[in-house]
Structures are given as structure tokens and as C-alpha cells.
């Protein structure tokens, strides 16, 4: 059955962010082109919505759309002064959220996390929002564990994302969870965006685009991704970049938002997940191909970061590779398998 996604547009909605769910989910298709999601947008009372810009939007549905949705996405909206000072949820918004069924997945984009927090949906949970408002969210809702250093947080039923492009990352994450890496990667290619950015990647980095490309660590990152199976060290990476370990570490953290070794571990785990989802390779071979060396080490990393074994992960997320998609390659064998 087609998964029904309802996008709630409230006053002060950011038009760019409002379009993200439909843009991503509508590109998730079966090999024959059948869409796996249906995306509809609603507003309170079905009324025109004042956007954050200089125009209004007209939608075709009211909040009754939330009654039957499988996933509800609350698009980024400019929080009201009352919400930011009192944490009080407007009565009409509260009534709309009450219509959501107990098992429906709820997603907030950026500052809409304030609405979920005000509704009590984030109590005792880890959550995130735009980095500039994370402190305000934490102060206003002390029962929420606010993480300012991630792109999105997946709590199972309730998910929150940071600002801007992090909403794309979260939507692709959901496609990946629902239908596997092959479908999500194909959707990402059609949207012309990166197929996978780890949710734990830092929101705000000092130099998103290095001013001196000759001193960037980008080439070394790609060099590493082509050699994930090898026992790479920090010294190996710094040597490839022709930098001291100290200088390389500082520049790497400034560009990526994490240490080189932490990033390497995340890339290895991400590639292992991709191979488990989209190939029939034995776990032992995947462990070697991703640089873990043996299945025991791979299993320990899966339990530490994901809370389950590689075999269990494969059963939950494995999806056949669509005929039109190419099989993922192993690092060092052919092509480039990961995005920087």
C-alpha cells in the first residue's frame, strides 16, 4: 500500500522547507516507476497560509487529513513570540495534533520541534532543531534532551531535524528505513542531493567551503573512502594530505565537524549498512571490505551504535536492488562508493 504522508503548513511556514517532503518522497519509486508515497499538504481549517516570505499559500486540505496519515510532517515555521516565551501551544494547533493516530510517525522540520515539545511529544526524548535555537528549546522545555550537534534525531515514532538541508537528510533517512538504500539512493539522485549524510554529523561547521582548496582535506577524504578496507591510521591520512597530524586534525574538524578517526568509523559503519541492505555478500566479507577486519569487530560496532547485530539489521532493512540501479562496489575494487 502507498504510504500516506500529510504535511502540516502553519502560519510563518518557510516555503522552501514546506516543499521538501513532497520533493523527496515523490521520488521514491519501485523499479517500474510506481510511487511508494502519496504526499498531501494541509492547513488549519484549510485556510490560506501566511508564509515567512511575502506571499500566502493555498492548500487543498484541512487538518482532517491528519486522521488517516501514516506519517505527519510539520513543516518549518517561524515560532511565535508567545511560543518562544511561554512554551504554550496554540489551542487550534493542539487540537490538530490530537487528531494524529497513536502509531502515526511524526516528523518536525527545524523549528517545528518547538511545537512537538509544547505538545509533550518530546518529553524524555532526545531531539534537535536549528542550532541557533537549540539553547532556547532546552531552556523552555527542560524535559527534552536537546542535541545541538546533529542533523536529525530518530526516536522511532517521533523524529526531529535541524534546519534547511537537514530536512532532506531526514526524509531520505525515512525512505531508507522504509524501503532500503537502493530506493533512497535513486530518490537522492533524482533530487540531485547527497544520498546519505549521517544523522550524527555536526550541524554547523566552521568552513563549509574551504577558502584555500589546496589545503582542503577533501581529496584525502575521498582517498580514504576508496580504501575503507585498509587499516588506515591518522598518520596515514595526514601524510596523504601532506600535513602534520595536528594541522590535519584541526583542518579536518573545521571542514567536517568531527575528528578524522570518528568520521572514518562512521563511514565504515555506513558502508557496512549499505552493503547489508543492498547486497547478498556474507557478513564476513562485508567486515573485511569495510575495514572492520572480522565479523566479531563488525558485530561489536553494530551493537554499540545501532543496538542490533548485522544479521538482524539485514533482515530488517534488506531490499532487492532495482534492475536499473548498479550494485554498490567495494572500496578499492571499482568506482567510488561513498559521498564525501
Which residues neighbour 97 within 8 Å (Cβ) at sequence distance 6 or greater? 66, 89, 115, 119, 121
What does the alpha-carbon distance between residue 301 and residue 150 come to, in Å, rounded to a whole number?
20
What does the alpha-carbon distance between residue 57 and residue 51 come to, in Å, rounded to a whole number?
7
Q: Which residue has the higher pLDDT, 105 or 202?
A: 105
Q: Which three cell numbers stand for residue 79?
A: 515560532
Cell 595526514 -> residue: 238
What does the alpha-carbon distance between residue 3 and residue 1 come to, in Å, rounded to a whole number?
6
Which residues neighbour 86 within 8 Å (Cβ) at sequence distance 6 or greater? none
Question: By mean pLDDT, which of 22-26, 110-114, 175-179 is the weakest?
Answer: 175-179
* Residues facing 160 on adjacent strands: 108, 153
Position 257 scores a pLDDT of 74
Q: Inform me whether the pLDDT recorded for 327 exceeds 50.
A: no
What does the alpha-carbon distance between residue 264 and residue 233 come to, in Å, rounded to a whole number?
10
Three-state SS letters, 223-250: HHHCCCCCCCCHHHHHHHCCCCHHHHHH
Position 177 scores a pLDDT of 87
Position 215 scores a pLDDT of 62
What does the alpha-carbon distance between residue 183 and residue 197 come to, in Å, rounded to a whole number?
16
Q: What phi, psi does 291 have (nearest 5°)?
A: 90, 10
- Could you read off the pLDDT of 184-232 as tens digits, one per residue? 888 988 888 876 665 555 555 443 444 444 568 888 999 999 999 999 9
Average pLDDT, the chain: 86
Position 174 scores a pLDDT of 93
Proportion of the chain above pLDDT 70, given as a percent: 87
Amino acid at each position: 500500500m502507498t504510504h500516506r504522508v500529510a504535511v502540516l503548513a502553519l502560519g510563518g511556514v518557510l516555503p522552501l522547507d514546506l516543499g521538501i517532503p513532497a520533493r523527496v518522497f515523490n521520488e521514491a519509486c519501485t523499479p517500474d516507476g510506481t510511487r511508494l508515497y502519496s504526499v498531501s499538504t494541509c492547513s488549519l481549517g484549510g485556510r490560506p497560509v501566511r508564509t515567512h516570505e511575502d506571499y500566502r499559500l493555498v492548500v487543498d486540505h484541512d487538518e482532517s487529513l491528519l486522521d488517516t496519515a501514516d506519517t505527519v510532517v510539520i513543516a518549518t515555521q517561524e515560532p511565535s513570540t508567545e511560543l518562544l516565551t511561554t512554551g504554550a501551544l496554540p489551542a487550534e494547533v493542539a487540537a490538530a495534533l490530537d487528531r494524529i493516530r497513536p502509531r502515526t510517525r511524526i516528523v518536525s522540520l527545524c523549528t517545528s520541534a518547538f511545537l512537538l515539545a509544547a505538545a509533550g511529544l518530546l518529553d524524555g526524548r532526545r531531539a534537535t532543531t536549528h542550532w541557533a535555537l537549540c539553547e532556547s528549546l532546552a531552556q523552555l522545555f527542560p524535559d527534552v534532551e536537546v542535541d545541538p550537534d546533529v542533523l536529525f534525531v530518530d526516536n522511532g515514532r517521533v523524529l526531529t531535524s535541524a534546519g534547511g538541508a537537514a530536512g532532506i537528510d531526514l526524509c531520505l533517512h525515512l525512505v531508507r528505513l522504509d524501503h532500503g538504500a537502493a530506493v533512497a539512493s535513486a530518490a537522492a539522485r533524482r533530487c540531485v542531493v547527497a544520498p546519505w549524510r549521517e544523522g550524527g554529523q555536526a550541524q554547523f561547521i566552521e568552513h563549509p567551503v574551504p577558502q584555500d582548496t589546496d589545503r582542503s582535506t577533501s581529496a584525502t577524504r575521498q582517498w580514504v573512502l576508496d580504501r575503507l578496507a585498509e587499516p588506515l591510521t591518522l598518520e596515514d591520512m595526514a601524510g596523504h594530505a601532506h600535513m602534520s597530524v595536528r594541522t590535519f586534525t584541526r583542518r579536518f574538524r573545521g571542514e567536517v565537524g568531527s575528528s578524522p578517526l570518528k568520521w572514518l568509523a562512521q563511514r565504515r559503519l555506513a558502508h557496512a549498512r549499505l552493503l547489508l541492505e543492498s547486497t547478498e555478500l556474507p557478513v564476513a566479507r562485508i567486515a573485511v571490505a569495510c575495514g572492520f577486519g572480522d565479523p566479531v569487530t563488525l558485530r561489536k560496532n553494530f551493537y554499540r551504535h545501532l543496538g542490533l547485530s548485522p544479521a538482524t539489521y539485514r533482515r530488517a532493512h534488506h531490499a532487492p536492488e532495482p534492475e536499473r540501479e548498479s550494485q554498490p562496489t567495494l572500496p578499492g575494487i571499482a568506482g567510488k562508493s561513498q559521498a564525501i
